[in-house]
């Protein structure tokens, strides 16, 4: 099988370096997961990114950045009329982040516009990863195209992993979000929700309620992230709680959940049990939050994961 395909939106990232100057990078939830997977998986397992960018200089710089990281760009299409989105990060004294976005007209919103391209890009994949942000930005028609492509990929032997990553302002309505999550939960092999998002989107009162809902919709492996509180792992053998790793005072929590997802999936793809995969994921997330911006250096992620 070809390897991993991560589907979503990469954006220009600006964060305050702490000296009054801003540093530019490139990041986005699904790109952050691809970054962690590329860092942690053996070189012989390809990691590809599927998105849509413009034809301007910043789009080319983004493509070059992704390719230089060893992530495949062959599934990335170009848009004549749009460019990429942008966001800035602000952090408080505890490292908790908040964002400002400029993405309403980004090229990535058209990433699911060519159904044939989607199918070709996923053919032969070992794992396909996407998030609720991916689903939100492509609109109703794009979501149908994604579900169809995922169904076909899974029929050909691919695993499907999904993080609901609920962001209310990106969705047409809460009803549209809930409908999509219910449908993809029955298709996914691994779900990686964050409890706060699920409480906001579905009214869940506990991580156990989140896990019960998602397993009830058909997914057999659910990992509920919960910040500094224990991670809940729910599989066919039962549910277990796992206290998170700690690595000093957080500097910037941007990308922590994405690092967790990448660590978990890398461990599972290399044959580790879900319990061990949670440990790896927590260690990776703990390393991510010690640095500014969404992406920690790949060698730092490898050192944290210990795979």
196 an active-site residue? no
Average pLDDT of span 191-209: 97
Beta bridge partners of 191: 162, 222
At residue 281's C-alpha, the angle toward residues 280 and 284, to 5°, is: 85
Alpha-carbon gap, residue 215 to 185, rounded angstroms: 8
Average pLDDT of span 159-180: 96
List the one residue out of 111, 2, 6, 110 whose CA is nearest residue 48. Answer: 6
Average pLDDT of span 232-236: 96
Does residue 96 carry a pLDDT above 70? no
Alpha-carbon gap, residue 284 to 263, rounded angstroms: 6
- Choosing from 29, 197, 204, 258, the catalytic residue is 258
Alpha-carbon gap, residue 255 to 211, rounded angstroms: 22
Q: What is the CATH number of domain 4-305?
A: 3.40.1190.20
Does residue 64 carry a pLDDT above 60? yes
Neighbours of 256 (CB within 10 A): 26
List the one residue out of 41, 228, 173, 26 whose CA is nearest residue 108. Answer: 26
Does residue 179 carry a pLDDT above 60? yes
Average pLDDT of span 123-147: 97
Q: With bands split at pLDDT 50, 70 and 90, how would you rate the model's confidence at 80? A: very high
Does residue 191 carry a pLDDT above 80? yes
The DSSP string of 31-92 is HHHHHHHHHHS-TTS-EEEE-EE-SSHHHHHHHHHHHHTT-B-TT-EE-SS----EEEEEE-
List the one residue out of 295, 307, 301 whose CA is nearest residue 12. Answer: 295
At residue 278's C-alpha, the angle toward residues 206 and 121, to 5°, is: 100
Neighbours of 58 (CB within 10 A): 15
Angstrom CA distances, 174 to 66, 177, 188, stand at 33, 5, 21
For 257-267, the pLDDT digits (tens) are 999 999 999 99
Beta bridge partners of 26: 12
Helix (H) or strand (E) holding 284: helix 274-288
For 290-307, the pLDDT digits (tens) are 888 788 999 999 999 998
List the one residue out of 270, 225, 221, 257 whose CA is nearest residue 243. Answer: 225
């Amino acid at each position: 099988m070809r390897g991993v395909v991560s589907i979503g939106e990469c954006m220009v990232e600006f964060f305050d370096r702490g000296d009054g100057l801003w540093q530019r990078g490139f990041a986005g939830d699904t790109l952050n997961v691809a970054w962690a997977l590329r860092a942690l998986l053996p070189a012989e397992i390809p990691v590809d990114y599927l998105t849509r960018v413009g034809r301007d200089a910043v789009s080319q710089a983004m493509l070059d950045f992704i390719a230089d990281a060893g992530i495949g760009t062959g599934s990335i299409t170009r848009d004549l009329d749009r460019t990429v989105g942008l966001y800035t990060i602000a952090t408080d004294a505890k490292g908790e982040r908040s964002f400002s976005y400029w993405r309403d007209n980004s090229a990535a919103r058209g990433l699911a516009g060519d159904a044939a391209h989607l199918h070709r890009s996923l053919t032969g994949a070992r794992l396909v990863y996407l998030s609720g942000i991916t689903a939100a930005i492509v609109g109703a028609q794009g979501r149908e195209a994604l579900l169809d492509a995922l169904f076909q990929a899974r029929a050909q032997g691919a695993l499907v992993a999904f993080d609901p990553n609920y962001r209310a302002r990106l969705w047409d309505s809460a009803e549209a979000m809930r409908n999509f999550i219910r449908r993809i939960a029955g298709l996914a092999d691994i779900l990686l929700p964050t409890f706060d998002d699920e409480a906001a989107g579905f009214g869940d009162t506990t991580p156990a309620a989140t896990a019960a809902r998602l397993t009830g919709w058909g997914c057999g492996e659910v990992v509920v992230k919960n910040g500094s509180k224990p991670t809940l792992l729910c599989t066919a053998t039962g549910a277990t709680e796992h206290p998170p790793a700690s690595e000093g005072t957080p500097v910037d929590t941007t990308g922590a959940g994405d690092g967790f997802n990448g660590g978990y999936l890398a461990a599972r793809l290399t044959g580790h049990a879900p319990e061990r995969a949670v440990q790896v994921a927590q260690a990776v997330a703990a390393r991510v939050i010690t640095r500014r911006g969404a992406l920690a250096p790949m060698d730092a992620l490898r050192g944290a994961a210990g795979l």
